[in-house]
Structure 1
């Protein structure tokens, strides 16, 4: 392998189907590369067996193999920026990426890695094998630093989670106090009703004892009506208290339905627009700029451009999913990188137990128990997008300090069926609106 191998761009190391760095990359006869599992599932679902990029047909006899060259390149990325190491800094004597050049090395002597390789080879007369060994040693150090950073991030996330857990416990305590107040109010109502009925009965008996003849000429309707009116008044007051409390709880919940015009052809949406999962074959649908393809994704029908909002999504039984919000103007075709710079604020699960926040560089999330229901919360004015484990009342991740300038739409990706292990649907749950 020569230094020219390092001239691949970051986009060339991403699978356009799963939007992640290649895992066991396979090359089609047309020259396009994909994760082996992704393209295998794509060809099995697509009866015409066409390449997702150029639509060239793939013969059923063609055997997919792992491209070892691309596989090796997929792990040779900058630990800080996740981009290929294409340049050499003569001042610091280190291999760097384009983002490093633009940031910390913009005033240094920086040359393309291939140029430095040729210069070293000519000036020092050393072999290509030694040069590659030097590069591999630096890659090893980069990997060690990246692992150290990951451990540090996980520790920070755990500390944050503990703090949020304490705050969540306080919220639960307040909710219990609220429930006790409602229960006490209802008991007071029942006690008042009972005492009022006893008092009225005593008045009726006194009226009868004073003058039975007159009392017989008076119907009990007026007294009964008075009791009923008093009871109804008490009930209405209790209802007003409860409604005010419940409205305060549910005031930020929004009704979300899925937009079929944006759904990838392999996705199956329920009739009420509340559920979505990946099917076994692609539907024949008209081409549209609104539709995601080849990314297996769908947006909500309604966009939001102000205030606070949240919605809950059931993820129980799934091995992979992506949830969040996206700008209405996001790119939906070809290769898509999900991060705030491209208009996506999301978290995702892969391989059953690996949770990530999709920032410029994916951030591993510390998750103790697998969430069965995830809450997506947005404060538009504050520039905040947060994700919670609803049942455990634990914060999973927050994007803070964001700036929103257009409508945000709920974003969903149930992931591929993963050979039948990921067929459970994402379900937009109505609990928040029915409290």
Structure 2
């Protein structure tokens, strides 16, 4: 028996209830077909038994039998669909270049036609004599790119000299004396290199992820710093506001108190005067009344009691002086100034503590030291020994400037260090850029690469052009130096007094910065013989 034709559309083999290919199809008495499960479930839910398509009613539930022919046709149709699905091209597979509509996957690629064929379209190459001679290979995509443009042959080799893919004929021509290997062999080499490249790329990605995290951390710290700065500022300004309000209240109470006391004094005097007036008025009435009596005896007896005036104060010496407010405001302002100074002291202390958090451990570099200077073994102290030593000619060393740099340099971020200047009358310290002139006489200004605080006996200067003269505290013993490289800021602090000395702002840093110290010239009387000492930060001072 010939096989049934299964080329019909899917609609001819679909159940009208589930709309899928028939599964165990049965036929109703009216001639319509359904899946056994679908029609059974449909009738289970109905009171009357009807055909879902034509609505023909049945008195009793029909006895259903499988439609054998339709079942076989549906099975063959379903199988053809599965085969077709298997032959359809999937992602990563090579499609047939001849198929239109739904593309099937290629079974072979022809290196002569430069076309890939599915099993159906490959049939002429298996039947026609001329096509049988064509070289067929496993399916390949981009066949044009796999063929040598010069010899029209498959690129199967790799030239290691010129790092290009070549065909067999190329090795007999332009690449005759070049080392060539099979593509697979070079592929293994390149795969190993690719692994290295991938590792490098992943490392670069990780580095950039780290950079992103660092930037986020910086923004987070900046936000925290800003919030802390605002909180500190609000706290201090609120305290100052309370102080000013209290000063104003105290002034008001003091002035009003004086005024009230003055008014009370005046009021008491007025009451006393009014009482005397009343007494005198009564006496005047008695006198007038007595002056009109004609009874001599009564007159004489009463006159004696009226002869002496009622007791009164001597008002010629009584005065009401307006209260004096001279000095009242100044006393209030003095008190306010004292409170402000206390709050400013807290602010300065908080600022110094903040910069001290960026402490760095630095040591002096003997390769940079001037021949007159002597360093301690730990690299933390330097003083002028008074005798010029013979040192090897080191390109890093100073020859005219009597100073020394640290081993450590800084090219970003913030750093802070402290130097003891106790018992010295002359010194200079600060930071210097890497490219400073170390062989000739130096000028300590930002233009020449130095940001310097200097002391000369009774003067304290920030070395600039012109120099900035600063107040010198007699008790200055330790100087703190803070640098914010990215913000272009160099600040100096009197550590013991917790006082800000000076800040150079708007600096342009483009090179590494080195802390540097100059202990000043040796004095034979010992006045300036004490060393400069790099000291550890003690935030409890």
TM bin, normalised by shorter chain, reads 0.3 to 0.5
Q: Specify the structure having the higher radius of gyration (Cα).
A: 2
TM-score normalized with structure 2 length: 0.35
